[in-house]
A and B are shown apart, each in its own frame.
Chain A
């Protein structure tokens, strides 16, 4: 089980002093903080730990902050990225936002504002999308990010299970037919690791999967949406499930 309430923040900046400061400030606020001074060591940390938020300096030697975020997103799509720039030139900000970064802040950072932003980011419901259709995942990622969800992605049952054990998701969207297992395995992993999480089945093949879907629903899954999605219906159900946790 994952301890509730500890949020993990990754700070990446080539200036060791600013890393020490952010570590002090964020640790003092009760966050669990890790620090890296360049892209490659940051990625090592990301491989080992799912961070809730990554605070990335834009201009660094070697891999810059935006390149780093693109790599982080491949590994941990659910990590919310805040990029920090001393002097955003031209369309850097637009590029960063287009790549999926949540905010671009300028130096010198206002720590009080950072604190507020972190609260907002961490307050976003965390959704895991489990589907082997990568295009669909990418679309849902953008759509759900825009609606204020943090969105993790897993393309098969095994990585989904690993993520569910490592991270407290609020809602898990589960495709029934996936590699390395079935949607049912994923559903069971959720029940086991994180019983409070809500589950929504997403399935494309009504006939073939009908039996399995019925079974998982009988076990307690919160709902099902059939592909091709009626997006309003999907988003409506998701909103209700995400809000239910607050109630």
Chain B
């Protein structure tokens, strides 16, 4: 958060607790009473930390560090009593929270430590107060508001840092997954290339036919490796779809023709007679259907039935692909649309993730139902071109 945003946020909190210039004036008025006790409060603060191993462990620099920290804390209390609560003040408060999470202090300890400091300040002011008790009460209330505001900003910093840390960890985990998937998918072709090269260099009996065979094999595997990179980068930046009306049934037939399922899989296609034109990017949607058909066939290694049914529902169309394959265990259902998740021996685990991502960009959706041992249904929903709303 930038200093401006922080200051805005602090002002919002001030409004929330009803902080006014009067509060600032009251704190300033009691400042001399509290200031006398700062060294004692600071000492008490660090003595208490010494008694709590979980708090103590974040101080790794020994006595010298404690002395420095005492100086910082004394300045922090001085600023608290300064009567000036500007953007710079807020930024320094925020930094305190940030620093504490950075050194690994459990957030609860900032709360209880501040509570202890608060008690000390209140005690110091009450004992030294020379006037009427009601006025004392008011001043202490102002001091409490100020401390609560400090605490709110510190907690904000804690949350921001935690969110960042979480994101960093997630990024690292994703990177690990990608590395694993890519390693596997690239090392297989590399394995072929390397062994072919070895053969070409070392074979005792290299015939021209063998030489050609190995060179062609190297070329084929290099192309396979390149496809891995292609599919990763096309997933990373799928272009914005060009939504046009198209014939979904014809697209399915084309997709099946360009990559026919094995003969052991019987395919039936049923579209409602009144099935309308569909709105979407046919080029991208062909990737979706080809991924879904390939998945269905992979789920039926010993053959089976693939039923593709198109239905018209109000302003959208529903195309369901039902296979009679192995099905998906219910505990895996939430994961299978995630990128880099795969149950197969080969592949990056991007097929369904790409399908979902394309459908979302085409203003559609993908839904999965499955009964292990019976089969799965992947349902694609897309916008229909209705009579009242002609093609865009």
Contact = CB atoms under 8 A, between A and B. Distances in A.
A21 B345 contact: no
A109 B217 contact: no
A86 B345 contact: no
B60 interface: no
A21 B196 contact: yes
Nearest to B179: A87
A15 interface: yes
A108 B220 CA distance: 16
B344 A87 contact: no
A106 B185 CA distance: 13
Interface in B301-344: 301, 344
B199 A87 contact: no
Nearest to A14: B345
Interface in A40-93: 59-62, 64, 84, 86-87, 89
B192 A87 contact: no
Given A17-B217, A21-B214, A28-B199, A59 B345 contact: yes
B346 A61 contact: yes
B194 interface: yes
A86 B184 contact: yes
Given A20-B217, A28-B203, A86 B195 contact: no
Interface string B168-195: 0000000000001001110110111111
B190 A87 contact: no
Contact of B192 (A14, A21, A28, A112): A21
A18 B199 contact: no
Interface in B202-226: 202-205, 210, 213-214, 217, 220-221
Interface of A: 14-15, 17-18, 20-22, 24-25, 28, 59-62, 64, 84, 86-87, 89, 106-112
24 contacts: A14-B346, A15-B188, A17-B192, A17-B217, A17-B220, A18-B191, A21-B192, A21-B214, A24-B214, A28-B199, A59-B346, A61-B345, A86-B185, A87-B180, A87-B184, A89-B180, A106-B187, A107-B187, A107-B190, A108-B190, A109-B195, A110-B194, A111-B198, A112-B198
Given A87-B184, A107-B188, A111-B199, 18 more contacts: A15-B188, A17-B217, A18-B191, A18-B195, A20-B217, A21-B192, A21-B196, A21-B199, A22-B195, A24-B210, A28-B202, A59-B184, A60-B345, A61-B301, A84-B191, A86-B184, A86-B185, A107-B187
